[in-house]
């Protein structure tokens, strides 16, 4: 089961659509598990939230062994610089773990909450981060949700879907995880 927790206000229709699109992508139940506050411990001086620290410090909801937890926020996220600089942070996941977070802060300004395009972009980003929880890596197929989110290909292909390879790998991981 994928448990979705909002960290600030989202329209009910957006969260419902997110859960439906996550179900379609992974063939696994997804439901809203509530709204929790952003953890102040993860807030940086510049107003962004340290993505890894947010996952460590955020309150949780009741989970069973195989559940995955997805936090959704409008706030800007931060990750430390890597070998090629500071990455744009659309989301972050504990690779092979249980928790992930996505943000709408880097969405194009033309995407209005409640619109189909906004919902698909949110779901596509969520599918990407959830895929990392099942140990999926970046994909070269620009139509796949596992394609890097900062690329033109990711933004140009709106549907929150997985390519055949990523879909099969995620299904295998999900089957292996079932208790």
pLDDT in tens, 136-167: 999 999 999 999 988 888 888 889 999 999 99
Sheet holding 99-103, edge to edge: 30-35, 2-6, 68-73, 99-103, 91-93
- % of the chain at pLDDT higher than 90: 74
pLDDT at 93 over 60: yes
Burial class (CB within 10 angstroms; exposed 0-12, middle 13-18, buried 19+) of 152: exposed
Mean per-residue pLDDT, 107-131: 93
pLDDT at position 81 is 84
**CATH class for the region spanning 2-177:** alpha beta
Whether pLDDT at 179 is above 60? no
* Domain definitions of the chain by residue range: 2-177
**Helix pair angle (116-133, 12-26), 10° resolution:** 50
User: What are the distances in angstroms from CA 47 to CA 11, 42, 75, 83?
Assistant: 23, 10, 9, 24
Instruction: Quote the distance between the C-alpha of residue 138 and its chain's center.
Output: 14
Residue 66 has pLDDT above 90, yes or no: no
Angle CA(134)–CA(139)–CA(142) in degrees, nearest 5? 130
Residue 70 has pLDDT above 90, yes or no: yes
pLDDT digits (tens, 9 = 90+) for 21-47: 999 999 889 999 999 999 999 999 999
């Amino acid at each position: 089961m994928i448990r979705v927790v909002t960290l600030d206000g989202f329209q009910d229709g957006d969260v419902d659509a997110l859960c439906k699109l996550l179900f379609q992508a992974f063939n696994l139940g997804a439901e809203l598990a509530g709204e929790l506050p952003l953890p102040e411990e993860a807030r940086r001086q510049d107003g962004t939230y340290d993505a890894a620290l947010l996952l460590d410090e955020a309150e949780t909801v009741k989970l069973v062994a195989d559940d995955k937890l997805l936090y959704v926020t409008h706030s800007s996220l931060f990750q430390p610089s890597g070998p090629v600089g500071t990455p744009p942070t659309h989301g972050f996941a504990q690779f092979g773990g249980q928790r992930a977070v996505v943000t709408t802060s880097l969405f194009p300004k033309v995407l209005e909450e409640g619109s189909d395009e906004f919902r698909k972009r949110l779901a596509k980003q969520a599918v990407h981060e959830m895929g990392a929880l099942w140990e999926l890596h970046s994909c070269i197929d620009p139509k796949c949700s596992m394609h890097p989110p900062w690329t033109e290909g990711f933004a140009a292909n709106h549907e929150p879907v997985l390519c055949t390879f990523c879909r099969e790998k995620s299904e295998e991981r999900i089957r292996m995880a079932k208790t």
